[in-house]
Amino acid sequence: MPDPVLRKEVTAYGQKMVMVCDGKCNKAWGINNRPRHQLSDDEDDYEYLADDELGEAPKDPGTYEGDQAKPSEPRVVLMNKWCFRECERRSWGRTDKELELRDFSKRLSNRKEG
């Protein structure tokens, strides 16, 4: 698991939450737009492609949360609503102990193992 480089406390669903991110906005496609490899005829059986299989993500992937788009620079806009709802690179939970970032250095199945 990559180490988070960004951390922000937010209020979501009426509760205090913690959100962390690896800060690689240039590789953030959005959870619904990230290129994937279909493994079978089952539409839910796929793997997200690894970062090294992809070029840079679009600066504007065309998805918005309210009036907020994907940040152009993570150090300037320290995670916004788009990050919370759409970004595949972030993790959020009630405490830091609940958080685990996805490792996009390799392909990732959309299904949990086990």
**Model's pTM, two decimal places?**
0.85
Token digits of residue 82:
């788009």
State the Cα–Cα distance between residues 41 and 56, nearest whole angstrom: 28
Answer for the pair 80, 90: CB distance below 8 angstroms, yes or no. Answer: no
Q: What is the DSSP string of 13-74?
A: TTEEEEEEE---GGG---TTTS-EEE-SSSTT-EEEPPGGGS-PPPS--S--BTTB---S-T
Q: Give the amino acid at 82.
A: W
pLDDT tens digits in sequence order for the chain, 114 residues long: 567 788 999 999 999 999 999 989 999 999 999 999 999 999 999 999 999 999 999 999 999 998 999 998 766 677 899 999 999 999 999 988 878 899 999 999 987 654
